[in-house]
Chain A
């Protein structure tokens, strides 16, 4: 296959990660990149960066309802012999007026994927522990109803996973997470640093308060967190904890 360089075009530097993510590579070239991803961390980082860059193009793909019965086959493939359907009715975490409720559906998907990670980590976690409500979740929204964070609490492991799903303009202040027990005062959980998903231990002082109907809230505090142990800045998002 001869490669013809356009007469006027400058020499174009190759970006294999970009070509791989775009999907134009074929045969050995594609296979070679896929193989190297397992061991080459810098290539993997390049590929992930391109996936993030180009992902918004997927907005142009029309959703199509997945075929009936596919879920049952997936469930069967994951846990052969397990009777996974029909599922017990559960309160919905979100309304679904449209087929693809962007931010909210994504927020729930994010929480759910992370819940898989959390749930799968302890291999001894019994089904009864799950049934007893060891996994809790809350969507923290602004006063005008915009989701800002999705929290998943694993009471078995005393861990809370927080995924930011909306823009937060905290300026130079530090967002801090609070747990407000039913009828109680806000107790500090953690100062939120960084982007994306955070996995935080639930302090032992508030562990017993992390229950259904308690509230999670995020306030903006001086750098490093509230100096008083109580919220001092504006509360930017709140959400009621529910069983998953």
Chain B
């Protein structure tokens, strides 16, 4: 039963990913169940030559969580300050990926961004915030936030390909 081993070695991390985006343990649990049944169903389509398994599983967990977040009724809005509540933590000593080099490169490239832009990129990826929430959190017009993010993504790509 290989899936149980996958579950044992990855569920705490993936639950952390879902919980960070959704904030509600019961919702995160529902999503995590979907994640592993999806992993099971789609394992045969996983292409080990192109992606690492954990990156693939983490992407499924993030996408499911974001879809669930977006499907929430509008009444339950995100705290506006949420996007700003993200500190700029020192890099974690633990490296989740095998690719320590990619991790160092990403950190180096993030450090080249202006601080508000870096914070916005982090908050978008880790917390699943929309442009709108990010803009309100940073106190800038929506168009400015879109411009920050798009320009930062282009810079990151160029920097990481250097």
Contacts and interface: CB of A to CB of B under 8 A. Distances in A.
Interface of A: 1-6, 9-10, 12-15, 18-19, 21-24, 26-27, 30, 34, 45, 48, 51-67, 70-71, 73-75, 77-78, 84, 87, 93-94, 99-100, 102-103, 105-110, 112-117, 119-121, 135, 161, 163-167, 194-199, 244
Interface in B124-159: 124-126, 128-132, 134, 141-144, 146-147, 149-151, 153-154, 156-157
Interface of B: 1-7, 9-17, 19-20, 25, 29, 32-33, 36-37, 39-40, 43-44, 46, 48-59, 62-63, 66, 70, 89, 91-92, 94-103, 106-107, 121-122, 124-126, 128-132, 134, 141-144, 146-147, 149-151, 153-154, 156-157, 160
Nearest to A49: B157
A70 B33 contact: yes
Contact of B70 (A30, A63, A65, A84): A30
B49 A64 contact: no
Given A24-B149, A109-B6, A116-B43, A70 B32 contact: yes
A53 B153 CA distance: 11
B55 A61 contact: no
Given A12-B150, A78-B40, A116 B6 contact: yes
Nearest to B36: A74
A166 B154 contact: no
Given A23-B66, A74-B36, A116-B2, A57 B7 contact: no
